[in-house]
Amino acid sequence: MNQYYVYIMANKSGTLYTGVTNDLMRRVYEHKNKLVDRFTKKYNITRLIYFETTNDIKSAILREKQIKGWLRRKKMALIMENNPKLNDLAENWY
């Protein structure tokens, strides 16, 4: 059974990025090593601060869109509920 991840990453100044993937370790590696020339590279988004899993890609995409549509304060409430110290959840992965 496949797993899909909705995740939120941040930079040191608190800029947030929400994404979806089927391989969280690979995707976080790409962000941390700036392998994709997009928003996360431009804004140095390198810290994984939240993620959730599902077995359904449609649910994952809908959840990503839902979170992206939220105001910053609602995103931060979700993150703080699960990671109040805003630790990099992938700090020791590599």
Domain assignment of residue 76, yes or no: yes
Per-residue pLDDT of the chain (94 residues; tens, 9 = 90+): 899 999 999 999 999 999 999 999 999 999 999 998 889 899 999 999 999 999 999 999 999 999 999 999 999 999 999 999 999 999 999 8
Domain assignment of residue 28, yes or no: yes
Q: DSSP of 16-85, one letter per residue?
A: EEEEEES-HHHHHHHHHTT-S-SHHHHTT--EEEEEEEES-HHHHHHHHHHHHHS-HHHHHHHHHHH-TT
- Residue 63 burial (C-beta neighbours within 10 Å; 0-12, 13-18, 19+): middle
- The domain in which residue 66 lies consists of 4-82
CATH code of the domain covering residue 76: 3.40.1440.10
How many domains does one find in the chain? 1
Domain assignment of residue 90, yes or no: no
Domain assignment of residue 21, yes or no: yes
